[in-house]
Amino acid sequence: MKLVEEGYRIVYEPDAYAEEEPSLNMESEFKRRARIAAGGFQAIVWLKKLLNPFKFGVVTFEYFSHRVLRWAIVPFLLPVVLLFNAVLIYKNPLFYTYILIIQILFYTCSLTGYLLEQK
């Protein structure tokens, strides 16, 4: 993305591929994901010029949706969505109750998996 910021284009190469060794355990996978997340946050700061749609056009949308939404906004919206689902139960009790139950189950499974890995 730094090259795009400097004015170069990115071209799709259909024959290009990358290989990555899988993590051996959940601890190393967590560390890998933490590094990726830290890099995502750093990229938002380092490449903030790419958020100018007048200069970078479609790249701005791609960068915003992939970096900014993914790393800076969406994780903090999860509790907000939970609260909205709880409030929306009054609008359509049957539908939103099911949605809320599914969301709570998802969060519970995520937390349970995390806690089991800590043992």
Buried b (16+ CB within 10 A) or exposed e, 69-89: eebeeeeeeeeeeeeebeeee
pLDDT in tens, 55-80: 888 888 888 888 778 777 777 888 99
In 3D, which of 51, 49, 70, 46 has the Cα closest to residue 61?
Answer: 51
| pLDDT grade for 99, boundaries at 50, 70 and 90 | very high
- Is residue 75 within 8 Å of residue 82, measured between CB atoms? no
pLDDT in tens, 2-50: 778 888 887 888 999 889 888 888 788 888 888 888 887 788 788 888 8
Domain ranges of the chain: 2-11+27-118
In 3D, which of 106, 54, 53 has the Cα closest to residue 78?
Answer: 106
The larger pLDDT score, comparing residue 112 to residue 29, is at: 112
Task: Quote the pTM value.
Answer: 0.55
